[in-house]
Amino acid sequence: MSTSGSPSPSASLPDDAFDVRSIGFTPIKGTRHQSQSGAEFDEHGPVGDRRYCLVDARNQQVLRTVQNPSLVAVLATLYGAELEVRLPDGRSVCAVAEVSGERLTCYYWGRPVAAELIKGPHDELLSSWLGKPVRLAQVPRGDVVYGDPIAIVGTASIRDLGERLRHPGLLAEAARFRATVLVETDTPYIEETWSGHEISLGVGMRVRIGEAIPRCAVIDLDPLTGVRGPRVLKTLAEYRADNDKGEPFFGVFAQVVSASQS
């Protein structure tokens, strides 16, 4: 396992709070990762994050981005009880995501997920975009999240990767890493030295830093179009530590310790 490209374990923690550059998520798993300036948090993470997912009802599977890259081009936005879905070709729907009463057990990375199917116009639009029948479903908080509810990536880590990739604009494409929180840092990969520590994200929000995040080919997708671009994953694998599946680490997971309620 490669261990290069990592800071010293003695690297210091932030003095007070993270310098948060942006907070982002999407209400439908796999669709475009968006900046969410007014995000609220509770013990499960950002409120509204991956509230919904798309399922292949026939095969009882939750759709994953790595197998459905065109999902990235779909813009999903919550307006109170209404969910808007907008496609790159200009088509859109905006309607209340009302549960239908139909329940289906689907599988996400081999684990069962209790999906409650939604009725409304979203299914037709999304099925036409993906070229196959899909259903919009509401799922319990965290059930379609790969690891902990929060993912944190430092700006210095992205800059370093961009230099190695010879892609200087990588920081402007930070959404490809789908981090809940992008923090300003000076030392590449320093966030990995914070594992096990509690740190403030600002105004009544504290998180406990967890393990490093193993990455898959989703980071190769353009964050606006879903088109495969620079070989980010391959470059990352050339110098970063990895897990037993050969997935290189980039960023860290975190759990909410406390969050103020508005």
Contact 69, 223 (CB under 8 A): no
**Tens-place pLDDT, residues 44-65:** 899 999 999 999 999 999 999 9
**Taking the alpha carbons of 31, 68, 175, 44 in that order, is the dihedral positive or negative?**
positive
pLDDT tens across 170-196, in order?
999 999 999 999 999 999 999 999 999
**Type of residue numbered 202:** G
Of all residues in the chain, the percent with pLDDT exceeding 90 is 83
Q: How confident is the model at residue 179, as a pLDDT?
A: 96
Q: pLDDT band at 259, cuts 50/70/90? A: confident
Which residue ranges make up each domain of the chain?
A: 20-27+35-40+147-258, 51-138
Task: In whole angstroms, give the CA distance from residue 179 to residue 215.
Answer: 12
Band of residue 147 on the pLDDT scale cut at 50, 70, 90: confident
CB 52 within 8 Å of CB 29: yes
Dist. CA 86–CA 28, nearest whole Å: 12
| Tens-place pLDDT, residues 180-237 | 999 999 999 999 999 999 999 876 689 999 999 999 999 999 999 999 988 999 999 9
Q: How far apart (Å, rounded) are the C-alpha atoms in residues 164 and 155?
A: 14
